[in-house]
Structure 1
Amino acid sequence: MKIPNNAARAIAFLLLFVAGVRAFAADGGIIGRYALIIGKNDGGQDRVMLRFAATDAIAFSTVLQEMGGLEKSRQVLLIEPSFTDIHDGFARITEVIKNEQVSLRRSEFIVYYSGHSD
């Protein structure tokens, strides 16, 4: 079975990302990693409903937790969010980062979006 180029690129990116996160897992709390993860199947009235955007976002969140060591408390996962929900999600993760910033040397922030692109 041949893997489509887009899927192969996504898998390669994810593996490299997880390897990078794991490489810094023993940093003693010096680096704080955070993520805002969004999955939206519904692209609007004139758009075809996507089938896997939401489940992709959930899977990405799980991979970050289980393989990347990113604590659930440092993630905001939004499924089928409205514009306001996304705005609030950014505000929530910003607050988490601000509260932990004092004890960190560096913060890294990931935004993952799975859904319609335009």
Structure 2
Amino acid sequence: MPSVKPFSAAAGMLRSRLTSTLRQRGDATNRWTTPGHQERPNGYFLNRTPLPPGQSRKWEDWELPCYVTSFLTIVILGVGLNAKPDLTLETWAHQKALERLEAQQQIIASAPSDESD
């Protein structure tokens, strides 16, 4: 049976860390509440205030390559996945069954008929 000492030591260390963080919650020197951080979102998308009328937003450096790559990826995947060969087991078995039926029909058609007596 394992010793209880390591568990109690770990529990004591965890308890001391949790109580110290809970005590700091009441302080106003939290990194999320320092001056310059908003307490609540301002209601705009990504917290960006809208531009004045007549001005358009300037694209950032990463946007054009990201959009072009995303579009090309969708096109390549759409064309590639639609053009891939059907290699499922069901399709293979269906083709083999059709070949066997055709072979049986040819054997039946080539056999001499005995009804001409």
The structure richer in strand per residue is 1
**TM-score, normalised to structure 1's length?**
0.24
Rg bigger for which structure?
A: 2
Higher helix share: 2
| Larger RCO (alpha carbons 8 Å, 6+ apart) | 1
